[in-house]
Amino acid sequence: MSQREGTRELFENLEGYDELDDVDSRRRAIRLWSETFSEQWEILKEDRLVVFGAVTITLFSLIAIFAPFLAPHPPTERMWDGGMIMQWENPLWYGGEGGYLLGTTAEGYDIFSQLIFGSRPALIVGLSAAVLCAGIGTIVALVAGYYGGRVDDILMRIVDVAYGLPLLPSVILLVAMLGPSFLNVILAVVLLQWRASARVIRSQVLSIRERPYVQAAKVTGASDWRIISRHIAPNILPLTFLYGAFAIATGILTEAGVSFIGLGDPSQVSWGTMLQTAHTYNAMYHQTWWWFIPPGICIALVVISGFLIGRGYEEVTNPALRGNN
């Protein structure tokens, strides 16, 4: 992503607050932040695609939270008919017996229930990757960009190293060594993906640091923390969200890819492990597409929602991209 100059200075007009006393400052800080959010939301909600993304993610989050109530069966409970495992049962709308909405797997698990429960790891991986990548990236960027000098140099060389690591091979190596589990997938994704937000946000911080109101605050003796949290952080917030939203996508796709290769968490059902099992049992060859297509669609829906929200933020940060301006 190219560097972005000319981001709107959302907070320039809030300059005067610095002179107020500390008792009010917390309340004002809260107001300041909530104004930021609501202003951004005003821009975002005009874009139907962003709303679609937000709704989809919310929907999947609800599904994940209420999975046990929505799924007719636990995800790895075998279905029996008399003494026989109900393997490869067709969906109920396709002449299947037992009333399974999407039929059963080769092992006799209910596919629909697996799909419902599969939303949990996907969202956990996606959202934690998002929060951690964007969070770490932003903190590094603020520190490097604000303090500059040697700190900046060291941090940016670390970013360079992180940029030298190919994503999927590195994640595969890490997960293989640490052991296949969701925690390790998240860890590996975060270790690699904070780099993007760190580099781009840092250059933003560099330019904001030089702006008159920041310089003015420095002159009045405001603490570093105050300057960072009041003047700089709110301005780079859209970028943080932008990279957070993209990290949802990276996290989910990486988890699916790693599972597909056979390094998924064997103790949990995720969309990625579902696809791997379907592939192992040749679901496509047997034309049982109801086992194979839905997890791919679900992954794509969540990922594209992340992208759509991210794209919305991209337009917040870079008005040149907004249509009709």
CB of 317 to other proteins, least distance (A): 12
List the x/- string, 107-136, binding to other proteins by CB under 8 A: x-----------------------------
Q: 131 or 300, CB closer to other proteins?
A: 300
Shortest spacing between CB 169 and other proteins, in angstroms:
4
Polymer length in residues for the chain: 325
Q: Which is nearer to other proteins, 212 or 266 (CB)?
A: 266
Q: Count CB-CB contacts under 10 A for residue 238.
A: 25
Judged by CB under 8 A, does residue 45 bind other proteins? no
203 is a contact residue toward other proteins (CB under 8 A)? no
Q: What is the rounded CA–CA span in Å between residue 270 and residue 228?
A: 40
Centre a 10 Å sphere on the Cβ of residue 172 and count the other Cβ atoms it contains.
18
Beta strands in the chain (DSSP E): 80-81, 84-85
Closer residue to other proteins in complex, CB, 149/169: 169
Token pair for 108: 């006799």
* Maximum distance among all Cα pairs of the chain, rounded to whole angstroms: 81
Shortest distance (Å) from residue 39 CB to other proteins? 23
Site for other proteins in 142-201 (CB under 8 A): 157, 160-161, 163-170, 172-174, 176-178, 180
Q: Which of 200, 275, 313, 316 binds other proteins (CB under 8 A)?
A: 275
Choices 79-87, 118-126, 221-229, 232-240 (CB under 8 A): range interacting with other proteins: 79-87
Which tokens belong to 132?
A: 């951690």
Q: Which amino acid is at 74?
A: P
User: Of the candidates 123, 127, 128, 133, which has an alpha carbon nearest to the alpha carbon of residue 240?
Assistant: 133
Per the CB < 8 A criterion, the answer to whether 235 and 208 are in contact is: yes
CB of 231 vs other proteins, minimal distance in Å: 26
Is residue 299 close enough to count as binding other proteins by CB under 8 A? yes
Smallest distance, other proteins to C-beta of residue 67, A: 9
Dihedral sign, Cα of residue 18, residue 22, residue 28, residue 33:
positive
Q: Is 219 in the site for other proteins (CB under 8 A)?
A: no
In 210-288, which ranges are continuous DSSP H helix? 212-219, 224-226, 233-258, 271-280
**Does residue 8 interact with other proteins by CB under 8 A?**
no
Q: Please tell me the distance from the alpha carbon of residue 195 to that of residue 2, in angstroms, as a whole number.
A: 14
Among 69, 95, 149, 225, binds other proteins (CB under 8 A): 69
> Does 262 engage in binding with other proteins (CB under 8 A)?
yes
88 forms part of the interface with other proteins (CB under 8 A): yes
Q: DSSP letter for 68, please.
A: H
CA–CA dist 148, 98 (Å, integer): 65
Number of shown-chain residues binding other proteins (CB under 8 A): 78
Which residue, 216 or 266, is less far from other proteins as judged by CB?
A: 266
Residue number, 3 or 215, with CB nearest to other proteins: 3
